[in-house]
Each structure stands twice: as structure tokens, then as C-alpha cells.
Structure 1
């Protein structure tokens, strides 16, 4: 594949330009924010590098699209993709970042931070015993790179980590991996549920009343995609204590509208899609490695199966 003209569209385009342009002098680049993007720029390009563009564009003239994030649903979900166009994604420290993000909220729960903070405000001295993380069961939806890193970190702390995937194929770090259709029997046993799944037709609204109603006061964390969750079903599950608390980093609409009731729920923690940010240095490094592999006709470990959506 001959890649000469490369269009890079990102809010951090200036940082990426400083890291990339001089490293690949044999290529011609355009770096810009989305506000300055026109269809003519895409028509000029052999390759588009971007993530989560707000407008639908015609990519039929490019040879390669590279996502600066782990997700590619903005390019694929409910869209017809030209199978002749190569699609790759960024692989970097996402797994470690998300594992630490989720671990922080689980430890906060087990160590009774909120209870002791409230007692401090009331000047009450009442002892309660925190729980041990090694006594917990965690169910992770998605057993790819991110899910496997969560399993590695948590199992290293003695946690029983169960996984859910489309195939149900066993993966390192998981005590057991089940399919989406065969995992319901463990739902009432787990203490925490973590969603890392990509958005596909199969995962859209996956977390509905059927799943939430089988939980037994479990914590729920969504670091995958917002559209995987039926928000009304989640709110109902919170209100009847099927879900103990929810930590939500991703939403179907971002920024989350101020009118959304999730903002005001006392047992919902909202973060602004920061559990696995792409830093300029990591984004540039993955892009340059992928570009080199394409130029040298090497295998691409970050190639997306556009039929599966990940």
C-alpha cells in the first residue's frame, strides 16, 4: 500500500504535528482540528488519522483510516464500510489506565470512604471493618487487550475475575470466560461488573433490565461505550438496589446533557471520558509504528476486523 498524503484531524493536532512531522519527512501531512476540516481534505488524503469525528464524511477515497483511540464505532457502527479500506486502531496504555481507574473505585467502596467521610462531617466515631479485595468477584465484559489487563491486575490481588465475550474463549487472568448468552448464572454472585466492550450491533443496549435485575447489589462500571447501557434500566436497578453504585465514564451523548438524571443520582459517579485517554506521545508512537509496518508490508497487530467491529 502506497501512503503519501496523510491527514491528521484531532484537538491535539499541534502536539501530534511536533511529534510526527519530522520523523516521517518522506510523507506529506496536513494537521488540523475538526473545525477546519472539509471533504476536500479527505479527498486529498491517502490516509486519515482521527478519532470520534462529529460529522459523517465520505472516506471512500482514502486507503487507510487510523483511529487515535481504541474504539472504532464512530467509523463502523450502523455504517457501510468499504472493505478495501484498511482500518487500524491505537493500542497503548489503555488497559493499564482503565484497570487502575476501576481499581480506584472498587477500593473506595471496600474501604468505606464515603461512610467515613460522612462520619467525619458529623464528628461521629463509629468503627466499621473494610472488606478485602481478595474476597471479591469481578465480572468483566470484554476479554481483549483492555479486559485482559484488568484481569491481570485484579487476579494479581487475589480477585476471582470472570469474563464475558462473544466467543467465550478462555484468556489468561480469568477464572472463567463465558459467552454473552451463557453467563447469566454468575450475575447474582459477582460484587462488581466492568464493561469494556466495543459498540457493535450485538452490544448496543446489552446492559438492560435483564442483566441488571439479576445482580445482587453489585457495583457497575462502564468504560466501554455509553450506548451499551440502557440508562433507564440502570436508574431503575439503582433505585431498587440491584446495582449498589455506578461509575460511568462514557455516554451515548457526550458531553452528557445537563438534563440527564444521572447527574443528580446520589450513587452515580460521572467522569468525562478520561479512563483511557490517548496522550500525544502514545498516539504518535502507535501511528508511526503502524505507518512503518504498512510501508514495509508487515503484519498489523492493531488491524480492525471491520465485520466484527473491533
Structure 2
């Protein structure tokens, strides 16, 4: 019998208990899953965590064959020296769908000028339209699972989509750039910029004052990726100067966003409470169960984290 320790937090257990049991049974895995800290950590075969959760020291879990994260982000785990077991991040199909819907909705909102036309407190008749999607250039920074899906949907709507990634990628119908020169080019044409990079030492403050200055005047930033990707001060300065028209932000360096943070009151900032894409128990449980099945069968794990790259 396989022993699985659900160490993602007691508040998450009621949502995951039944879906995990069903998914493991469907995968043909006989397992006991418990949210109670084990008396003997060496008896645990797998740990399910949420970017750390209830475990900070993984050293006692000497029999664990994998640590399975319920979140896409692993920034709180990759730097933990005690975590020597294979670590898998979460790629949940339902989470990807939600991210695509959030990004597409806000890109269309800014492209169509919905805020200006519907929330016009001057009661001014503004008949000029935005033009078709093919007239708008959208740049997606990050072409992983989420970024690629969002870029593909935007291209299907006829936006002129440029994707950028640290390493070369290729996606049908999307101009893909990489490297520092590619980043400068991608930003220079970004009328709407979508940030979907992971948070690593290399991506912190990726969007700083110098890179914001490369963007076209009146550009818009949408960040459902990680709060640390943006230099907050540089973003506010660009909004105040008018170089950027708006920033729609779903993620922040500190969450919940502190009440005193200037983002709340800024007229050119839209704050959403980290809702772009959450992990759904029913679909995430299937991913976890499949990885346990794979490990037991000696097959490669899905979404294995590259410790060197940080994701």
C-alpha cells in the first residue's frame, strides 16, 4: 500500500480528499492519503504540497519518491536545500483554460477600450472604434504551458502576436523571439504586454524602467504571472508620466495586496485578487494520481522541475 502525505494545508484537505481518492482509484493506484503529519516520515512514499505548505524540512522523508506541488509556481520550494526528492510542478488543464480566459478577456477589454467607452464619467460621445484585432500588436513574455496557450488563443482572434522566451521556441502563427535582443524587439512592439514568466532570480524585475521605456507610448501591461516580474516603482512612474496607459495586475509581491499600496488608488491600475488561474481539485487530482502511477511504474514523471532553471 502506498502512503501519501497531503501536506498542502488543512484548509485545502476537504476540497481534495474525495477528488484524490477518485483519481487514484481511476489510475489503478492503491494508496492511503492522509492530511495528518506522519509519526514515521520514512514511511511516506509521496508528499503533496502547495509551494511549501506544512513542510519546511523534507530531510526526514527519506522514502519519498516525489514531492508533488499543487501550484504552478515552485519558487518557495526550489531553494529548499532539504528537498532532494524529485519535485513536480502543477500543470492543470483547467487552470490553463482559466488563464487563457483571463488574458483574452483583458486583452480584448484594452483593445476595445471598454473602460473608456463604458466608464466614461464625462458623459462624452466617443464614436471612434479600435479597429480590428489584426491592427493590434500583443506581446506575451513566457512561452511555457500557460503563455503558449494564451498566445495561441490571441493569434486565433487575429491579434498580431509576438512571443518571447528565454530559450528558442516555435509556435504556429506566432512570431517567437528569444534572448536579450529578442526581448528588446518584443517590448518595442508591445501595445499590449502580457507577463507569464515564472519567478526566478533571472526574471525578478524583468520589467524595469529601462525595458518599460522600450515599449510604445500608451501601451498596456497585463500581469497574471508573478508580482516579482515588475519593478513596482518603475511601473507607477511610467503610468504617472503617461508612457503607459494602464496596468492590469493579478499578482503582487505581497498578497493580499496591502491596503496602503499605491496600486489600489491609482486611476490607471486595475487590481484583481489573484484569480486569473487557480488549481482545481477535480483536475489537479488527476495530474497528481497520474504522476504517482508513473513513478510506481518506473515511467518518467510529468512536469519535473529543473532545479537549475528554477521551474
- Please confirm whether the aligned pair reaches a TM-score higher than 0.5, indicating the same fold: yes
Q: Distance in 2 between matches of 1:180 and 1:42?
A: 45
Q: Distance in 1 between matches of 2:80 and 2:244?
A: 33
Q: Distance in 1 between matches of 2:180 and 2:196?
A: 13
Q: Distance in 2 between matches of 1:174 and 1:248?
A: 24
Instruction: Please say if 1:49 is aligned against 2:48.
Output: yes
Aligned to 1:185: 185
Q: Secondary structure at the match of 1:140?
A: strand
Aligned to 2:300: 299
CA gap of 1:289–1:173, structure 2 versus 1, over 3 A, is: farther
TM-score, normalised on structure 2?
Answer: 0.88
For 1:64-83, list aligned pairs within 5 A. Answer: 64-76=66-78, 78-80=79-81, 82-83=83-84
The alignment of Structure 1 onto Structure 2 pairs a total of residues equal to 301
Render the CA deviation track for 1:257-277: whole Å, top value 9, x for unaligned. 111111111111111111111
For 1:126-141, list aligned pairs within 5 A. Answer: 126-141=126-141
Q: Which moved more, 1:57-66 or 1:44-53?
A: 44-53
Structure 2: 5+ residue stretches without partners: none
Aligned to 1:59: 58
Instruction: Please say if 1:31 is aligned against 2:2.
Output: no
Aligned to 1:234: 235
Q: Which moved more, 1:300-309 or 1:181-190?
A: 181-190
Q: Distance in 2 between matches of 1:243 and 1:42?
A: 52
For 1:1-310, list aligned pairs within 5 A. Answer: 4-10=3-9, 11-21=11-21, 23-24=24-25, 26-31=30-35, 45-53=44-52, 57-62=56-61, 63=64, 64-76=66-78, 78-80=79-81, 82-83=83-84, 85-93=85-93, 94-119=95-120, 122-216=122-216, 217-310=218-311
Q: State the shift of 1:68 in Å.
A: 0.6
Q: Distance in 2 between matches of 1:39 and 1:110?
A: 53
CA gap of 1:170–1:195, structure 2 versus 1, over 3 A, is: same
Q: State the shift of 1:309 in Å.
A: 1.2
CA gap of 1:46–1:114, structure 2 versus 1, over 3 A, is: same
Q: Which moved more, 1:192-201 or 1:39-48?
A: 39-48
CA gap of 1:241–1:306, structure 2 versus 1, over 3 A, is: same
Contact 2:77 2:83 in 1 (8 A): no
Render the CA deviation track for 1:42-72: whole Å, top value 9, x for unaligned. 6663322121346771112333211111111
Structure 1: 5+ residue stretches without partners: 33-37
CA gap of 1:82–1:31, structure 2 versus 1, over 3 A, is: closer
Contact 2:143 2:163 in 1 (8 A): yes
Q: Distance in 1 between matches of 2:155 and 2:164?
A: 16
Q: State the shift of 1:122 in Å.
A: 4.9
Contact 1:90 1:302 in 2 (8 A): yes
TM-score, normalised on structure 1?
Answer: 0.88
Q: What do you get for the CA RMSD once the two structures are aligned?
A: 2.4
Q: Distance in 1 between matches of 2:108 and 2:89?
A: 31
